Amino acid sequence: MADQRSEYYASSENIRPDSMARIETKEQADKFIDEQVDALRKQIGDGKVLLALSGGVDSSVVAALLIKAVGKQLTCIHVNHGLMRKGESEMVVDVFKKQLGANLIYIDATDRFLDLLAGVAEPEKKRKIIGGEFIKVFDEEAAKIDGVGFLGQGTIYPDILESKDGIKAHHNVGGLPEDVKLELVEPLKLLFKDEVRVVGSALGLPDEMVNRQPFPGPGLGVRCTGAITRDRLEAVRESDAILREEFKNAGLDKKVWQYFTVVPDLKATGVKDGKRAFEWVCIIRAVNTTDAMTATIERIDWELLEKISYRITHEVKGINRCAYDITAKPTGTIEFE
């Protein structure tokens, strides 16, 4: 079984065999790491690789694997597309460049992305615009570095399954343009999210990074549903920051798998300071899962929900109403878009 599993881990196919053992222990993770390091060295050789480093668990684990395999041949690129969570880009630079000493390039492309997304409401088109522009940014950076031939990505198995089944396009699976000039490096593409966390821990990544909740590649762009506007995007960012703060204070940040806010292009009548206020509705979502293929709803204490709602409606400009999403997966995907 060990030999068979090793062959599957190094496979170039996008199909996870039924016989592939689930990675649940450090011993299994160490074996996976050894096999992937060997496979990465064979694939990359003495070439150079670029990696989109968002700071999420997937890209962080890929970065750690690549550093272990090819060291300084890796250049990490953090693109601030204007769709990051509050303080996200600053944290990525601090952790990876200052603390871990990674070869990190920071690019602020906020205006570039938001200008392209202006007026675009269809979810799949938004995802493909974001994914396509990422590739263009990487092509531009690759042209500045001699010998770059590879693009590292944090693709995991649920991304492949959802893209294959037509549920939604992923920026790192089906949403890439056909003229990609770099060869893809995807060491995690046959793993589920829980397995990625086990591998990350075995690699020695800090707990706060390994157990960080998932964040989609298109960022807040899929939580500012419909056509993105800068003011509504800021409302998503600020409401999300409040939710994360309150969940951490309540000890839910380590209990709930994923939690976030969504601000759709939907307004409701309310009252603020004794006057009529026609403002956006903020939707709170909190789910638990092990593999991201199915998800259940977290039953949050009403008192905490009321506190979160009060803070959002009183502290975030443009929001006067909150709702809690009680839809499991299926029928609803974890993200709204």
pLDDT digits (tens, 9 = 90+) for 225-245: 999 999 999 999 999 999 999
Cβ proximity of 138 and 150 under 8 Å = no
* pLDDT band of 179, cuts 50, 70, 90: low
Question: Token pair for residue 52?
Answer: 């989109």
Q: Which stretch of 110-114, 132-136, 163-167, 284-288 has the lowest confidence by average pLDDT?
A: 163-167
Domain 223-324 has CATH 3.30.300.10: yes
Q: What percent of the chain has pLDDT over 70?
A: 91
Q: What is the pLDDT of residue 165?
A: 55
Q: Which stretch of 103-107, 150-154, 176-180, 265-269 has the lowest confidence by average pLDDT?
A: 176-180
Give 330's contacts (C-beta < 8 A, 6+ positions apart).
294
Return the domain boundaries, the chain. Answer: 2-210, 223-324
3-state secondary structure of 93: helix
Q: Which residue has the higher pLDDT, 39 or 101?
A: 39
Q: In angstroms, what is the C-alpha Rg of the chain?
A: 20
Cβ proximity of 74 and 101 under 8 Å = no
Q: What are the pLDDT digits (tens) for 249-296?
A: 999 998 999 999 999 999 999 999 899 999 999 999 999 998 888 999
Please name every residue paired with 329 in a beta bridge, in sequence order, or none if there are none: 295
The single-letter DSSP state of residue 219 is: G
Q: Which CATH number fits domain 2-210: 3.40.50.620, 3.50.50.60, 3.40.50.360, 3.40.50.300?
A: 3.40.50.620
Q: What angle do CA 171, 173, 179 make, to 5 degrees?
A: 85
Mean pLDDT of the region 128-135: 90
Q: CB count, 10 Å around CB of 189? A: 21
Q: What is the pLDDT of residue 94?
A: 80
Q: Which stretch of 50-59, 93-102, 263-272, 292-301 has the lowest confidence by average pLDDT?
A: 93-102
* pLDDT band of 12, cuts 50, 70, 90: low
Q: What is the pLDDT of residue 180?
A: 57
Cβ proximity of 203 and 65 under 8 Å = yes
* pLDDT band of 175, cuts 50, 70, 90: very low
Q: What is the pLDDT of residue 115?
A: 97
Question: Token pair for residue 149?
Answer: 């031939």
Mean pLDDT of the region 168-194: 71
Cβ proximity of 259 and 213 under 8 Å = yes
